[in-house]
Amino acid sequence: MGAGDLTPGTLAPPVPRPLVWEEGCVRILDQTRLQGEEAWLECRTVASVADAIRRLAVRGAPAIGIAGAYGVALAAHTGEPLDAAARELVATRPTAANLRWAVERVVRAAAAGRDALAEARAVEREDEQACEAIGEYGAALVPERANVLTHCNTGMLCTGGIGTAQGVIWTAHAQGKRVHVWVDETRPVLQGARLTAWELQRLGVPMTHVADGAAASLMSRGLVDLVITGADRIAANGDVANKVGTYGLAVSAAHHRVPFYVAAPTSTIDLATTAGDDIPIEEREPDEVRSAAGAPVAPPDVPVANPAFDVTPSSLVTAIVTERGVVRAPYPDRLRALTGATA
Amino acid sequence: MGAGDLTPGTLAPPVPRPLVWEEGCVRILDQTRLQGEEAWLECRTVASVADAIRRLAVRGAPAIGIAGAYGVALAAHTGEPLDAAARELVATRPTAANLRWAVERVVRAAAAGRDALAEARAVEREDEQACEAIGEYGAALVPERANVLTHCNTGMLCTGGIGTAQGVIWTAHAQGKRVHVWVDETRPVLQGARLTAWELQRLGVPMTHVADGAAASLMSRGLVDLVITGADRIAANGDVANKVGTYGLAVSAAHHRVPFYVAAPTSTIDLATTAGDDIPIEEREPDEVRSAAGAPVAPPDVPVANPAFDVTPSSLVTAIVTERGVVRAPYPDRLRALTGATA
């Protein structure tokens, strides 16, 4: 498949949407089974949507926001109490800011007498538009020829559009820039290997898949021009929570004077979180680390720490790319201005 | 099993030796199958020893040196030409210094009319003694209570004794220090998860297994007091080649002012290699990255880079622990003095 066949507006065929609403049912692509097969979960209750989010059938901060929004719409459709539904949905993933933001937005809309489903659709559509804008702003930061290193999955499978960090990569590629992507496999859940590599192959973007431990030596060999990742929550001071492994990349990028960019919609910015230390880091099941793609890799009873995220201090972040523009330090004032908040 | 049952001299029961010589046969523990079962390869030809080294049935710089030494002894036993045997063995793994060192030593001994098998046994016995000395010198660097982070496997499975970096950990633990080990899983071949976690559990050393990407955030949270790894080759200027992922740990350790130690016998020091840039880095099969413990984790045809090692510049190495003592910068003169070389 040639990349020339695709433009940011016509991406539906090569990569499926992470979820769709169909007459009282949230159909969620089961990303835990991707590559093996394209299997869809039919969620007709809030509990089933919450379960799909919890076990990562749908993942990525913007996509779980959209899933949460449709979860509330589902509650409105079936007559489940919205407050309880919202609590159940928000509790599934404690780190991502977008989930709470989207769920609360739909609950507020319904409380104000507006249609919950229309509000969920708006959340999704706005995320699609945000991705396109992030792509445009971010692509301007990408040189004409660039080796770009990314971590986890930030593409079409985890947003309402072309993706965040991956939307930047895709837009630069679609603009004709000579982009080559280093894809970190992203242990333990392997979102880079399973999802980003799969998406980029379908999109025809040149890429090479590497173990997470290889990233720093790629930088030392001059093979990385920039690092770009997504974010699960951005604190008021610009500290960024993202998939575990991101922080180490930021430290290495700083050591090698490689720009480290974060791409995220403004719904990821949580001004109520003062700094990274205040972001709750989800500790997930030890078996995610004891196994890989279902195969055991360590003794079955070995003690494990499995923080799903880490925090990168704003001092290591070269710039944050949002749908409203590119923000650089000093972050506190500029993030506040960007989101329209008053001091 | 309590740690009190074990002292460095009595380690045979809990962890098997990586290989043994038995009447014209090099029996090699197949570490690719460890955890599942304890399977032994019976190598009666140099080609079968070379194959076992190549496919990582036996791995770790000191152990492949010992395997290479016995491979030459096997050639002497069966009447294969020693020079061809040496070439075949040395070609299996280009990065490790110990392999060439040990193979050439046994060939030289045989050429001088000495018994090749006795020389191979001496290589193994001296490595056992080196491990004990490394353990003692290194343990003096470990605080009374310490969280130690390590990468790959440097224990009894990859040396003739208690291990290098892991020998330091074991000795500190046996001395009664309160050591807790963070074990990096070490993708792609998972030596940390499969081998180090398994060994430390058998030895009763407190440990927690983590994904490689979690290491930097453990440091930022103050949960790492020192990092210690092994080495596959140490250049004359102190640059260290070791398992891929080591360099990123060294960068993060420097960023957090955490000591970064390397433990290796002097047979790992190669004064003929001027600096890290001159060390050949073995590029291994892409399928090691596309799969984990036999399970596919990425699209089957995705492009992969799989450098098995990386190079840490001596500027990031706090000290190198050898069987002859602890070496600190300036490395060139001190490594030369340590190995008894003249300028």
> Cβ A299–B190 below 8 Å, yes or no?
no
Active site residue B310: no
DSSP B289-303: HHEETTEE-S-TT--
User: Between residues 178 and 207 of chain A, which touch chain B (CB distance below 8 Å)?
Assistant: 182, 184-188, 190, 193-194, 197-198, 201, 207
What average pLDDT does range A297-323 have in this prediction?
97
The answer for residues whose C-beta is within 8 angstroms of residue B225's C-beta and 6 or more apart is B143, B146, B147, B148, B258, B259
Q: Does A271 touch chain B (CB under 8 A)?
A: no
pLDDT digits (tens, 9 = 90+) for B183-223: 999 999 999 999 999 999 999 999 999 999 999 999 999 99
Chain A residues within 8 A of B208 when measuring between CB atoms:
303-305
User: Between residues 66 and 125 of chain B, which touch chain A (CB distance below 8 Å)?
Assistant: none
Inter-helix orientation angle A61-78/A97-111, to 10°: 30
Nearest to A248 among B197, B207, B213 (CB): B213
pLDDT of residue A2: 39
**pTM of this prediction?**
0.93
The answer for residues whose C-beta is within 8 angstroms of residue B146's C-beta and 6 or more apart is B172, B177, B178, B179, B180, B225, B226
> Cβ B217–A298 below 8 Å, yes or no?
no
pLDDT of residue B14: 72
* pLDDT surpassing 70 at residue A37: yes
pLDDT digits (tens, 9 = 90+) for B33-90: 887 678 999 999 999 999 999 999 999 999 999 999 999 999 999 999 999 999 999 9
Return the number of other C-beta atoms located less than 10 Å from residue A281's C-beta. Answer: 17
Strand partners, A42: A27
The interface predicted TM-score (ipTM) is: 0.93
Return the number of other C-beta atoms located less than 10 Å from residue A113's C-beta. Answer: 6
* pLDDT surpassing 90 at residue A5: no
pLDDT digits (tens, 9 = 90+) for A196-208: 999 999 999 999 9
Nearest to A193 among B218, B245, B297 (CB): B297
CA distances from B123 to A7, B109, B234 (A): 63, 11, 19
* pLDDT surpassing 60 at residue B26: yes
* pLDDT surpassing 60 at residue A114: yes
Question: Among A232, A239, A270, A310, which one carries the catalytic annotation?
Answer: A232
What average pLDDT does range B308-316 have in this prediction?
98
Chain B residues within 8 A of A246 when measuring between CB atoms:
213
What average pLDDT does range B139-152 have in this prediction?
98
User: What counts of helices (H) and strands (E) characterise chain A?
Assistant: 12, 16
> Cβ A305–B210 below 8 Å, yes or no?
yes
Q: Does A9 touch chain B (CB under 8 A)?
A: no
Return the number of other C-beta atoms located less than 10 Å from residue B57's C-beta. Answer: 24
> Cβ A295–B294 below 8 Å, yes or no?
yes
Cα(B292)–Cα(A297) distance, integer angstroms: 8
* pLDDT surpassing 60 at residue A11: no
* pLDDT surpassing 60 at residue A314: yes
- Please provide the average confidence, as pLDDT, over all residues in chain A: 93
Q: Does A299 touch chain B (CB under 8 A)?
A: yes
pLDDT of residue B342: 56
